[in-house]
Structure 1
Amino acid sequence: MNYRTKTSTLIFGLASFATAIVFFNGCKSPTENKAITKTAEAKENLADAKETLDKAKKEYVLRYEAFKLESDSKIAENEKIIAELKKKAKMESNAAKEDFEKELAVLEQKNQSLKEKMSYYKDEGDDKWESFKLEFDRDMDNLGKALKDLTKNNTN
């Protein structure tokens, strides 16, 4: 055989092989085609779910950070009010001073406890976060009211 014949035979053989592969791959059963489609859909759904989860986590972190900043600000404001009340209490010389200082110490401890509670909070999911946030807000509001009441009672 000459060179052209060998080359032609080789090309014909490769073309026949490629045709056979295409033909046999095209002849997959409907079950195989459904399985391939379902696998592709599952992969797409998984990717969508991961994207949604990532987005939800980012939103949760942003809400948490905003709440923490707001709470830290309120705690710092309470610390400022407590410091001012302590200065006023030192200038007083009446019998009510001792009771006032005791109440002030209790409120200062509550403020410190809220500060620690916020700093030690660990992510335990959205449901626990909502519960924590409601309880924390309630405690913060009660402390704020108690400080206002103490201020009113001290100025009377």
Structure 2
Amino acid sequence: MKIKILTHTAIFMVFGLLFIGCKEETKPIDTSAEKVQEAEKEVVAAKQDLADAIAVFQKESAAIITANEKRIAEIKLEIAEEAMDNRDEFRQELAKIEERNAQLKKKLSDYSSDGSQKLDAFKEEFNQDIKELGKAFGDLTVINTR
């Protein structure tokens, strides 16, 4: 009789341990599904942040390009109104600047995002081009004063 009771108790304990063991294994699966959902939300948020950063950069850069276009138009008026010995040289330099400004405008409109690292590299290169264009404007005024 004692052996039967001990056997039944041992069987119940084994089944109990199996039941508890199975129950614990399903819990990490639920947690991993939640982690996947959180990660997907973070990816969506990161993509939106990147898109917002691109939009802000494009807006700021477009404003600079538009200001350059206005500046070019003003300089063209000055060339037409003032008497200059080096008018042709001045017009050629201004045409080069205008061409570079148009290239920057096209480069900005053609940009598509491949990630934040590429955006940073694009920003750095684009800002360097803008600085060079500003320097060209400065050099143009040097030509004007000769």
**Which interval holds the TM-score relative to the shorter structure?**
0.7 to 0.9
Q: How does 1:75-86 map to 2 (within 5 A)?
A: 75-86=65-76
Distance in 1 (CA, whole Å) between partners of 2:66 and 2:145 is 22
Q: How does 1:1-156 map to 2 (within 5 A)?
A: 28=19, 30=21, 32-155=22-145
The question of whether the paired residues in 1 share the 8 Å contact of 2:50 and 2:115 is answered with no
Q: Which runs of 4+ in 1 moved over 2 A?
A: 26-29, 32-35, 91-95
The question of whether the paired residues in 2 share the 8 Å contact of 1:85 and 1:151 is answered with no
Distance in 1 (CA, whole Å) between partners of 2:114 and 2:94 is 33
Which protein has greater RCO, CA pairs closer than 8 Å, 6+ apart? 2
Structure 2: tracts of 5 or more residues without a match: 1-14
What amino acid is aligned across from residue 58 of structure 1 in structure 2? Q
The question of whether the paired residues in 2 share the 8 Å contact of 1:123 and 1:129 is answered with yes
- Cα RMSD between the aligned structures? 2.1
Distance in 2 (CA, whole Å) between partners of 1:149 and 1:65 is 31
Match of 1:18 in 2: none
What amino acid is aligned across from residue 28 of structure 1 in structure 2? F
The question of whether the paired residues in 2 share the 8 Å contact of 1:110 and 1:143 is answered with yes
TM-score (norm 1): 0.76
By how many angstroms is 1:33 displaced? 2.6
- Identical-residue share of aligned pairs (%): 34
By how many angstroms is 1:142 displaced? 1.1
Rg larger for: 1
What amino acid is aligned across from residue 81 of structure 2 in structure 1? M
Structure 1: tracts of 5 or more residues without a match: 1-23
Distance in 2 (CA, whole Å) between partners of 1:145 and 1:28 is 77
Match of 1:20 in 2: none
What amino acid is aligned across from residue 97 of structure 2 in structure 1? L
Question: How many matched pairs?
Answer: 132
Match of 2:4 in 1: none
Distance in 2 (CA, whole Å) between partners of 1:94 and 1:77 is 25
Distance in 2 (CA, whole Å) between partners of 1:64 and 1:85 is 31
